Structure 1
């Protein structure tokens, strides 16, 4: 062995330590990325279940049901408890098949010179049909704040469960907007969330 050709031990060790650090950092990044990717769907699913919004899995389960789809006439109605809001559906009636995702839009106008906070409460005809309306998105999930003279279009996205009883050939989805006093978290919010 020629000592002149061998690198000094002091230069090899720092190089080896530096390489080990790089490998450790890279392994940490890879393991962290794999953990993030594996946890992300569960976090997203938990968020959707917590908020009740965009529950696509529920829609797919209903749509994939072995019960055959059938046509049902859907009627839409709108009412207000106070006179300051003009509230109506853009479509008053349509025919949809059970298991099919339906998008409808309601229009509301605040005719007052002041801000109005409102909460929409749903009701159904026949009443038992409410248990078969699976909402994916709805303005009724939370209180709405309307600026003076604001006009807003608000969507409802839902489907009818295929297990809807055969005698229900027409289902009416009706909303009543109640004005909520500012700073109040009244019962209508709870009723709307539990009303599907």
Structure 2
């Protein structure tokens, strides 16, 4: 009798544990939509923001951590200066972005010389006050590069404009001057830009 009672108690305990595990799994699956509904009810919309940014990927957006100010639009102009026998240009000459929006533009560089060269780009901004609010997360300007004769490379610039940018600034010009580094070796050809997150 004692053995039968013990066996019955063990089965009841096992059944309770199985029910608890099933409930925990169900809660885990329900947590994401529940969190989304709570955020929407409170007006946070963190997940909705991420979804909008992902959906906008074709224009160069990527997932960001900050809030996007959709009430403002900033025109970003891209200017290039090549001091030497090479081609250097952006894929687009300008784009319109929202403060807090993570955006990307591609640049192309071609070494027209018959020799290997080491080169680096230096950025500048107009107006000057915009430089403190123009945050580059990835940029070829962080490093020096080596290009073989006739080689063409493409590099991205991933940036976000701080929503704290003064309200009167509606246009920012990002200008790069690409120059040869005399007597210095650059990074190996094809090396990916390092130092993402640095600021110049």
Do both proteins adopt the same fold according to a TM-score greater than 0.5, normalized to the shorter chain? yes
Q: Is the 8 A contact 2:118 2:184 kept in 1?
A: no
Q: Tell me whether 1:64 sits opposite 2:67 in the alignment.
A: yes
Q: CA deviation at 1:76?
A: 0.3
After superposition, give the CA deviation of every residue in 1:137-169 in whole Å (9 maximum; x if it has no partner): 000000011110001111000000000111110
Aligned length: 129
Q: Is the 8 A contact 1:68 1:162 kept in 2?
A: no
CA 116–184 in structure 1, closer or farther in 2 if over 3 Å, else same: closer
RCO comparison, higher one (Cα < 8 Å, 6+): 1
Q: Is the 8 A contact 1:103 1:158 kept in 2?
A: yes
Q: Tell me whether 1:80 sits opposite 2:82 in the alignment.
A: yes
Instruction: State the alpha-carbon separation in 1 of the partners of residues 134 and 161 from structure 2.
Output: 5
Q: CA deviation at 1:128?
A: 1.4
Q: Is the 8 A contact 1:79 1:176 kept in 2?
A: yes
CA 116–86 in structure 1, closer or farther in 2 if over 3 Å, else same: same
Unpaired runs of 5+ residues, structure 2, are: 1-61, 187-196
Partner of 1:29: none
Partner of 2:133: 132
TM value normalised by structure 1: 0.60
CA 101–69 in structure 1, closer or farther in 2 if over 3 Å, else same: farther
Partner of 2:22: none
Partner of 1:183: 184
Q: CA deviation at 1:64?
A: 3.1
Unpaired runs of 5+ residues, structure 1, are: 1-55, 186-192
Instruction: State the alpha-carbon separation in 1 of the partners of residues 119 and 177 from structure 2.
Output: 10
Q: Is the 8 A contact 2:146 2:185 kept in 1?
A: no
Partner of 1:102: 103
Q: Is the 8 A contact 2:83 2:179 kept in 1?
A: yes
After superposition, give the CA deviation of every residue in 1:73-100 in whole Å (9 maximum; x if it has no partner): 1100111122x22101110011110100
Q: Is the 8 A contact 2:136 2:199 kept in 1?
A: no
CA 135–194 in structure 1, closer or farther in 2 if over 3 Å, else same: closer
SS of equivalent residue, structure 1 residue 130: helix
Which stretches of structure 1, 4 residues or longer, exceed 3 Å deviation after superposition?
A: none
